[in-house]
Amino acid sequence: MLRLALFLLFATATTLAKAVELETTHLFGFTLGSDVNAVGEKETESETVGRFGKTAGAYGVLSEALGIKFIPLQDFSVEPIISGARFDVSGVPGSDDRRQLAHEAASLETRYRLINREKAAFGLTVGFDPHWVRVDGSGGAPVDRYGAALLLIADKELVEKLIFAAFNFIYEPNDTRSRITGDWQRTSDLSVATAVTMQIRPGVLIGGEARYMRSFDGLGLDRLSGNALFVGPTFYARFSEKIWMSAAWSTQVAGHAHNKIGALDLINFERDQALLRFGYNF
């Protein structure tokens, strides 16, 4: 045990000595960090999200989003994003069988940093992300969905350049019209996330995150539809000054759908979720 403790202490000290400065924005997988790029920088981002597993049948959805981030002002960023999705759904209760590619959504991601973590005890950023969605993200049905995500993002360096932690609070109301029936549905989602990651070698981090999500009927969190807790590992690597990637895998470990029997909510959420991001600064 003593040898193991000494080895871990030596490895930590060596990593700390070589650790590099990092932007925390995408260090934590699905969970976001508070950093905002420097004024005048631009960054292209590719984000692939996979969602797998429902109550029965075969269920797989891959969503690919492409965006370009601009930083026109100090502590403020804006990123227009377009996304497409691939649906592979068959035998899932409540969903039509569907195998198709579709233009999924257009959105605008905005961030404003209130507290710079390099000048204070922690970092704090707020976000407002309006979006227009053309297909239902669960089953792929044609819709017009109008909504926005409101974000509160906090993070902290627990050990300088070595261990980072983050917390997110997200509220997302949506107003959705079916393009088949013309019916409107109002919903809202509330989620909290926390993550910790460690730089194990210069520019390479591994960690874990937990996300708790609740889905509601009504824009004002009116009637609970279901809830789910996801946990899983995260990974980040910076290949150069300009190129980076991050990845995460989350599994639903607890949940419940309203008026349904079962230890998980596989009506409003999926069994597994995966994330892969690439970024290039220029």
DSSP 202-257: TTEEEEEEEEEEEEEETTTT-EEEEEEEEEEEEEEEE-SSSEEEEEEEEEEEEEEE
Q: How confident is the model at residue 87 (pLDDT cuts 50, 70, 90)?
A: very high
Tokens of 131: 């979006």
Q: Which of 10-14, 102-106, 145-149, 235-239 has the lowest mean pLDDT?
A: 10-14
Provide the pLDDT for residue 137.
86
3-state secondary structure 39-89: CCCEEEEEEEEEEECCCCCEEEEEEEEEEEEEEEECCEEEEEEEEEEEEEE
| pLDDT band for position 1 (cuts 50, 70, 90) | very low
Give residue-wise pLDDT tens across range 93-106: 888 899 999 999 99
Q: Give the DSSP letter string of 112-153.
A: EEEE-TTTSSSEEEEEEEEEEEEE-TTT--EEEEEEEEEEEE
Q: What is the pLDDT of residues 242-256, one digit of tens each?
A: 999 999 999 999 999
User: Residue 265's pLDDT band (boundaries 50, 70, 90)?
Assistant: very high
Alpha-carbon dihedral sign for residues 96, 99, 101, 105: positive
pLDDT band at 16 (very low <50, low <70, confident <90, very high): very low
Three-state SS at 167? strand
User: For the segment 156-210, what is each residue's pLDDT rounded down to a tens digit?
Assistant: 999 999 999 999 999 999 999 999 999 999 999 999 999 999 999 999 999 999 9
The single-letter DSSP state of residue 14 is H
Per-residue pLDDT tens digits for 137-157? 888 999 999 999 999 999 999
Q: pLDDT-derived band of residue 15, with 50, 70 and 90 as boundaries?
A: very low
Which residues are CB-neighbours of 161 under 8 A, at least 6 positions away? 16, 19, 20, 21, 22, 199
C-alpha dihedral (29, 35, 41, 46), degrees to nearest 10: 10
pTM of the model: 0.91
Q: Is the pLDDT of residue 109 over 70?
A: yes
Mean residue pLDDT of the chain comes to 92
**pLDDT over 90 (residue 11):** no
User: What CA–CA distance (Å, rounded) separates 76 from 112?
Assistant: 5
Beta bridge pairs of residue 110: 78, 128
Q: Between these two residues, 10 and 273, which has the higher pLDDT value?
A: 273
The domains found in the chain, sorted by start residue, are 2-281 (2.40.160.40)
Q: What is the pLDDT of residue 281?
A: 93
43, 87, 193, 117 alpha-carbon torsion, rounded to 10°: 0
